[in-house]
Structure 1
Amino acid sequence: MKKSYMKFLIMTAVAIFFSGNIFAAENKADAASVERYAIYIGSNIGGNNRQLLYAGTDAMAFQNTMADIGGIRKSNSVLLLDPAKDDVDEAMEYISQLIVKNKFNAKRSEFVFYYSGHSDENALLLGNNTYDYSSLKAAITKVPSDVHVVILDSCYSGNFIRTKGGQKQKPFLVDDSSVIKGHAYLSSSSSQESSQESDEIGSSFFTNAMITGLKGAADSSGDKKVTLNELYSYAFSETLSRTENSSAGPQHPNYNITLVGSGDLVLSDISGSDCILTLSKELNGRVIIRDKNEKLISEISKTQAAPVYLAMEEGQYGVTVISEKVTLQGSFELGAKKNYVLSNSNLSPVARTANRFRGEEPKEKAEPENAAVHDSENAMFVPFVFSFFDNEFYRNTGKDIVTNFALGLFRSEVYQTDGVMLSFIANQTKVLNGAQFAYIFNIADEVYGAQFAGIFNHAKDVEGVQAAGIFSHAENVKGVQASGWVNIADDVRYCQAAGLVNVASGKITGVQGAGLINYAGNVDGVQGSGIGNVSLSDVDGVQGAGIFNIARGNIDGVQGSGIFNVAVGKVDGLQASPIANYARHVDGAQIGLVNICSGDVEGLQFGLINFSRNGIFEFGMSYTTENNMRFTLTSGNKHIYSVIGCQTEVGYMTSNSDSDDKYAEIIFGLGTRLEAGMFNFDFEAYGNEFLSKDESKENKIKSEYYPSARFAVGLNPAKHIQIFAGAMASFEFDGNRDAFAGKKNHFTVELSDHDVKMHPEFELGVKFVLH
């Protein structure tokens, strides 16, 4: 008996041992392939009055980037700001224990050590402490991870790479499916160079390039993943190009990579980002992206005819693209879980400004920036020019005629006018520093003054006034463009006014006013017209029209019209019209008969019918204790919604048409909702219009108004069904007693010495949830 019992125990122990190992093996097979850990250090203080501004924010930005798209959970990382040496050692001990604890959860562990701060030729400078490179490298090596990635953004950090323990080699990287070991050391500068930070970008050049690269700019293969090799190549090129003309001299990042394996070590995955900005393949040049506060976010040189994918945060951005021939500008908004494609069609050309090169010798007498050079070989200055039909005499000289006064009985043409041009038919000049007057038309490339014509004006750039009886055209207007019929321009700053139509294919900064229609690419000011306004992008200001407003971008201001408003983007302000409003997202308010939002409403909708993706849109019917059938449409959001509907006695629908007791009621009101799981609680206030037959007038309907209130409890047993029970109270007083005389009132509560009566009513019904 004892032998059988011992045999049973031994067999049970063996079974438990093998089953435990099998279970562990299965768990290990299902474990994640890579587990990553990190220490991020930002040290602004370096002792001996050494002070940086952006080391701390660089460390925080690097941590956030790696948490978002680099696969390093914040629970697996430590952030140290202005630490002492002991703090760094404690952080490495903590990470080491974490790696040991989780060693069976992944087939490979990776450790990232990031430092932004002060250093010299021998050590990191941590306030009043130092951490010499040899000791630091030994401490990092003791961290029990398979791969060590060290990123140092500090002066002379190249000396860390040269310290005993590593030799610079050609990068040999691996992907996350390989079994590898080794290290990768990256430094922001060589052993003899300073590392530099910039007030413009609010960061160091090297860290800014690293973060921009991790977010997708370094992805040269277009697979939405950034490898260590891609990142180093991008950071090296960007850091060098942005520091080569600095007073501190060029900055050359260095590396020391010794990894055993095959493939590429992937550091970030862009596809995992909540928001992605795609730079289309035809977009080329220097792409500069700023947030709504004008802070520089990214600056990327895009030269390949392939798309570039950038991981971004949700928000509003402005962008400038500088190519060899043209400068483009525009704005866009990134929403959660959205991929926005930026292409040339989203941007508008802008005029380039002329700058003086550093080192240029000053002239004894500077010419106006807009003036032609009078003493050039091809220029001839003539104080007064007269022509009957044309200035053929001066044209035959082969010179560019520059004059102070040009008079043409029919047509006057000179190269440059620094005064006045008068002509019965036409004036033509390249540069006008003054005024043109013509009965028919004026033509100029650059206008610094005024053009006045009876029919039309044409200019490339206008700084001043362009006024015509019928038509004015210019590419860029800095001033006023006014005509009796039509104005056309690319960009307008200040004012565009026409009797019929204004067109600004670029941006309006100021006022656009027309009798019929205004059209603009982007509005930063006011659009006002008798019929309609159209903006192809954002409106930061006001759109006001007699009939309609359309904005294909965002509204950060007011959209008001006589019939309808459309905002294809987001409304962060007010949309108001008597008939209808439409927007994709609403963070402000919509006021109209019908308000539609295809996305979410975080603000308010005021109207009879309101629709939004996260709002209330319900059709209900109920039976009340006063033998009434009640039909309602509830729409809006839970904070405030509208109710329209009707109710009538059941006998109204079944009795013959000659019955004298027929009546109907129209319901309109507002409500608010509280939600608790499957239940909701509605509080509503109504104005009711009681309609009944007027006994004193044949075939006439009389109406009376009275207020009422309602409270209801709803239960949602299914997605599109709600069952509810409610209690209503109608209020009778001297001004509306006829409304209650014609309807049945089983319950009456007298209030205020019989002057006010309350009529309670109860209902049970069902609602169909239609959104």
Structure 2
Amino acid sequence: MSRVLLLVAALTASVAHAQPPVQVRRLALLVGVNDGGPGRERLRYAASDAQAFARVLGELGGVAPADRVMLLETGRAGLLEGLSRMRTLAESARVSGAHRVEVLLYYSGHSDDEGLLLQGERMDYGELRRALGGLPADVRIAVLDSCASGAFARRKGGSPRPAFLVDSGVQVKGQAILTSSSEDEASQESDRLGGSFFTHHLISGLRGAADVTRDGRVTLNEAYQFAFHETLARTERTQRGAQHPAYDIEMAGTGDLVMTDLRATSAGLILTEALEGRLYVRDEAGALVVELMKTAGRPAELGLAPGRYRVRRELGGAVSEADLVLTEGKGTPLAASVFRPVLSEATVSRGGPSQVEAEAPEASQGRVRVPFNASLVPGLSFNALVAGDAPVENTVAIGVVNDGTALRGAGLALGANVYAEETRGLAAAVALNMTGRRVEGTQLSVGFNYAGGAVDGVQASVGGNWAGGSVKVAQLGVGLNVATASVSGAQVSAGLNLAGGSVHGAQLTSGVNVTKESFEGVQLSSGFNVTRRDFHGVQLAAGVNWAGGALSGVQLSSGFNRAQNVEGLQLGLLNVGGDVTGAQIGLLNIGGVVKGTQVGLVNLAKEVHGVPVGLVSLVKEGQYHLEFWSSDIQLANVGVKLGGKHFYSTLVAGIGPDDRLQRFSLGFGLGGHIPVARRFWVDVDAVASTVHDRKEPFDSENLLAQARVMVGFQLFSRLAVFAGPTYNTYFAFSPEERRKVTTVKVSERPLGSDGTWQRWPGFQAGLRL
């Protein structure tokens, strides 16, 4: 949470009303790593915390998508690369004319009192401080949500600074560090929150819960104070004990670091003055987006995206809920009168074992317990005889149509099982299983399975499955599977798999797989795979693989692969990626900064730090040269060299006037470029050509293989001279191809029954444009 605070603060530094506007460029590096290495329990929410923080920065913090770098499940090398990309973005921001550059680093994952722990690799705090301090920015903020992260904020020989309130200017510069815990404490995450305590409360504060001045803006101080007190209060009763966020601020000058501007959102939730109680705001997918204690007498406003929300209120031991829809460009009031009464957690230390929070259990108060129900249709059943219209809970239900409030056991129906609130156990029906809220267990049907809330178990049907929340374990349907929130397990269908949240597991279909958030696992289809955010694992499709965010893994298709950035492999007819660390293999490969290789008929890239292999490799920051030369083989030759700074492909052609222009050659080669001194360079390559006769130009049975060394001198920026030796071998595979192709003496030997091969050293010299 504290990292979110620092990031948004730097990112949303605002200008005083009396001063002219200042052009601010805000950059964010967001890192979420669940895997701390051997001996460390895998976290559940580090990656989703980083994504939630990114959404706040995008919606309210003024950070453009192009200025956010997301790293999920990365190692030490990946983090160093991310910091390097931040440096490049900051330098380009300066060049583009930004008056202020602000950089935020957010890290969620494992750490100890010496450094960050990323998939078994360590980055020391000292190294991280140096890397952060070396970024060319006016403000640098680091937010660490991990165990013992307070050691990063601790100053050698120093003490905590006073509160970091500054005035309303925009001249503040320096560095700020926020951490989720002190140097000897564990940072905890919660299943109830769906994330870490610190990040959850920091984001709640940034969405408006921390706006104590009611000016529509949340400052760094406001957000930190809110996150500190809420984190401390909510962890005091966990078995791991209280968690104390920490900070270290080194700021100079004047300026009020504004983290979020609530006026930037297109929809708002207005908490009316009389409303009071602890409020939990969940989105349509069931994710908890804001939690706060609302006191009577003080109105408040939350900045949220348009959509459907459910608000749960706890007040005086009673629990109530309200459903509402936030619309574009409108503030929606929330009053106590709209709440309806309802019948009234686990934490994981970031590096430690599971812990359990004190929490009121889900109650069945008010329900009439009917252990066995036999039913023909609703109204003609034991439930109606025993309980009338009262809420009913069954243990076993058998009939044509079984209905009630809750099923905690088994329901077997020739028609349908319909329960208004929950199913815990087995619901098996020929036509339909419908549960208004949560399912914990199994729904089996020939027709359709529906759950209005989360499913912790299995939905299996011939028709389709629908979960109005998250799914844990599996959805198996011949038609379609829909989960409006995250999936931890598998979706298997012949038609469509749709996950409204992230997926940790597999989506397998002969049709289309769609995931609206990040994906970790395997997507397999004969049609399309689409993940709107980051993808970690394998995408395999006969048609299209699409990752809207970064790819860490493999995309394999017989058609089109696309990812924002790539760490791994893309293999398909057309591959499109942003920055690529790994390989692209296909007919057409398109990338940004490529660290690895591109293998294809045509390769396009901004930079290549590796080997591009293709008939045509166009690199914006690489080589594109036209060469003319003469050699002992052909008097007139022309060639094109295309590729990266150190590796290239070349297309060559030659013709010999000495034989009345009747013979010409065409070839292709691969080589390397070696800068030697300020103006000297050496090219070394291997070229394979075929020698053709103009009378029968495409009926040749020969091969000319050359190893070439060219020493060049750069006369001007676009003109160089070069010369060097060659070693040549000419293979004639038929008697008609036995010809002398050079002006120098050759060594000739038989090749098979009809052919020969010749060897000789040669020489060439020419010009490069």
Residues 575, 590 of structure 2: 8 Å contact kept: yes
Structure 1: how far apart are the matches of 2:383 and 2:546? 52
Gap change, CA 1:389 and 1:238, over 3 Å in 2:
closer
Question: Paired residue for 1:709?
Answer: 707
1:496 and 2:497 correspond: no
Unaligned runs of 5+ in 1: 1-51, 74-113, 118-125, 127-150, 159-169, 179-187, 189-194, 255-263, 287-298, 308-321, 327-352, 362-368
Kept after mapping to 1: 8 A contact 2:378/2:403: no
Instruction: Tell me the CA shift for residue 610 of structure 1.
Output: 2.0
8 Å contact 1:69–1:270 — kept in the other structure?
Answer: no
Please point out which of 420, 424, 435 is paired with 2:426.
Answer: 435
d(CA) in 2 for partners of 1:269 and 1:678?
Answer: 52
> Can you list the C-alpha shifts for 1:506-530, whole angstroms capped at 9, x where unaligned?
2121111111322213210111111
CA contact (8 A) 1:70 1:268 kept: no
Show the counterpart of 1:745: 742
Alignment of 1:416-565 (within 5 A): 416-429=406-419, 430-444=421-435, 445-459=437-451, 460-475=453-468, 476-490=470-484, 491-521=486-516, 522-565=518-561
Secondary structure, in 3 states, of the residue corresponding to 1:602? strand
**Correspondence list, 1:623-662, <5 A:** 623-625=629-631, 626-635=634-643, 637-641=644-648, 643-649=649-655, 661-662=662-663
Code of the aligned partner of 2:624 = E
Output the CA distance in 2 between the equivalents of 1:463 and 1:249: 30
Q: Which amino acid aligns with 1:541?
A: G
1:624 positional shift: 2.8
Q: What secondary structure is seen at the aligned counterpart in 2 of 1:587?
A: strand
1:448 is displaced (CA, Å) by 2.2
Q: Corresponding residue for 1:613?
A: 606
SS in 2 for 1:479: strand
SS at match of 2:550: coil
The Cα shift of 1:709 comes to 2.3
Matched, 1:622 2:625: no
CA RMSD of aligned residues (A): 5.6
Q: What is the aligned length? A: 514
Deviations 1:346-367 (A, max 9, x none): xxxxxxx678996679xxxxxx
| Residues 1:694 and 1:390: Cα distance change in structure 2 (over 3 Å) | farther
SS at match of 2:536: coil
SS of residue matched to 2:552: coil
Displacement after TM superposition at 1:583 (Å): 1.0
Shift of the 716–550 alpha-carbon distance from structure 1 to 2, 3 Å rule, reads farther
AA aligned opposite 1:200: S
CA distance in 1, matches of 2:725, 2:734: 18
- What is the CA–CA distance in structure 2 between the aligned matches of 1:648 and 1:710, rounded to whole Å? 15
Change (3 A) 1:354 1:398: farther
2:687 maps to a residue whose letter is Y
How far apart are the structure 2 equivalents of 1:738 and 1:671?
36
Partner of 2:580: 586
Aligned to 2:32: none
Q: Show CA shifts across 1:572-630 (max 9, x none).
A: 111222x2221110122222232211x32222222332222124352524243312433
The CA deviation at 1:428 is 1.7
Aligned residue number for residue 595 of structure 1: 589
1:401 aligns with 2:388: no
CA distance in 1, matches of 2:682, 2:714: 12
Q: Tell me, what secondary structure is at the counterpart of 2:434?
A: strand
What's the secondary structure of 1:732's corresponding residue? strand
User: 1:631: how far off?
Assistant: 3.6
Q: 1:59 to 1:525 in 2, by over 3 A?
A: closer
- Distance of 1:58 and 1:724 partners within structure 2: 51
Q: CA deviation at 1:537?
A: 0.8
With over 3 angstroms needed to count, the CA separation of the structure-2 counterparts of 1:743 and 1:469, relative to structure 1, is: farther
For 2:605, the aligned partner's letter is S
Cα deviation digits, residues 388-429 of structure 1 (max 9, x gap): 4765673581222222332333x3323222333233332222
SS in 2 for 1:433: strand
Aligned positions of 1:49-198 closer than 5 A: 116=155, 152-153=159-160, 198=185
User: Contact between 1:282 and 1:305, CA under 8 Å: does it hold in 2?
Assistant: no
Q: Which amino acid aligns with 2:640?
A: T
Cα deviation 1:124-145 (Å, max 9, x = unaligned): xx7xxxxxxxxxxxxxxxxxxx
Give the whole-Å Cα distance in 1 for the aligned partners of 2:429 and 2:655.
Answer: 77
Give per-residue Cα distances to partners, 1:662-717, cap 9 Å, x unaligned.
Answer: 4442424354544654554322223334455797xxx9723433432233345666
Q: Distance in 2 between matches of 1:177 and 1:530?
A: 56
**Could you say if the C-alpha distance between residues 717 and 485 of structure 1 is closer, same or farther in structure 2, counting changes exceeding 3 Å?**
farther
Q: Give the counterpart letter for 2:510 in structure 1.
A: G
The structural deviation recorded for 1:736 is 4.8
Give secondary structure in 1 for the equivalent of 2:473.
strand
Equivalent position of 2:760 in the other structure = 758
Give SS of 1:565's match. strand
SS in 2 for 1:394: helix
Scaled by the length of structure 2, the TM-score of the pair is: 0.54
User: Residue 694 of structure 1 contacts residue 700 of structure 1 at CA under 8 Å; is this kept in 2?
Assistant: no
Measure the CA separation in 1 of the matches of 2:760 and 2:260: 60
Higher Cα Rg: structure 1 or 2? 1
* Bigger shift: residues 730-739 or 708-717: 730-739
C-alpha distance in 2, partners of 1:403/1:527?
A: 38
Contact 2:701 2:733 in 1 (8 A): no
Q: Could you say if the C-alpha distance between residues 172 and 523 of structure 1 is closer, same or farther in structure 2, counting changes exceeding 3 Å?
A: closer
* Corresponding residue SS for 1:537: coil
User: Which residue number corresponds to residue 34 of structure 2?
Assistant: none
Check 1:576–1:358 CA distance in 2 against 1; reply closer, same or farther (3 A cut): closer
Q: TM-score, normalised by structure 1?
A: 0.54
Give the deviation of 1:541 after TM superposition: 0.8
Aligned pair in 2 of structure 1 residues 415, 221: CA closer, same or farther (>3 Å)? Answer: closer
The one-letter code of the counterpart of 1:436 is A
Matched, 1:732 2:721: no
CA contact (8 A) 1:457 1:468 kept: yes
Shift of 1:65: 6.9
Aligned residue in 2 for 1:378? 367
Residues 474/71 of structure 1: CA separation in 2 closer, same or farther (3 Å cut)? closer
**C-alpha distance in structure 2 between counterparts of 1:390 and 1:516, whole Å:** 42
Equivalent residue runs for 1:30-41 within 5 Å: none
Give the Cα–Cα distance (whole angstroms) in 2 for the partners of residues 738 and 268 of structure 1.
86
CA distance in 2, matches of 1:66, 1:268: 20
Q: How many angstroms apart in 2 are the aligned matches of 1:739 and 1:267?
A: 86
Q: Which residue does the alignment assign to 1:346?
A: none
Whether contact under 8 Å (2:445, 2:462) holds in the other structure is yes
Give 1:730 deviation, angstroms. Answer: 5.7
Cα shift at 1:477: 1.4
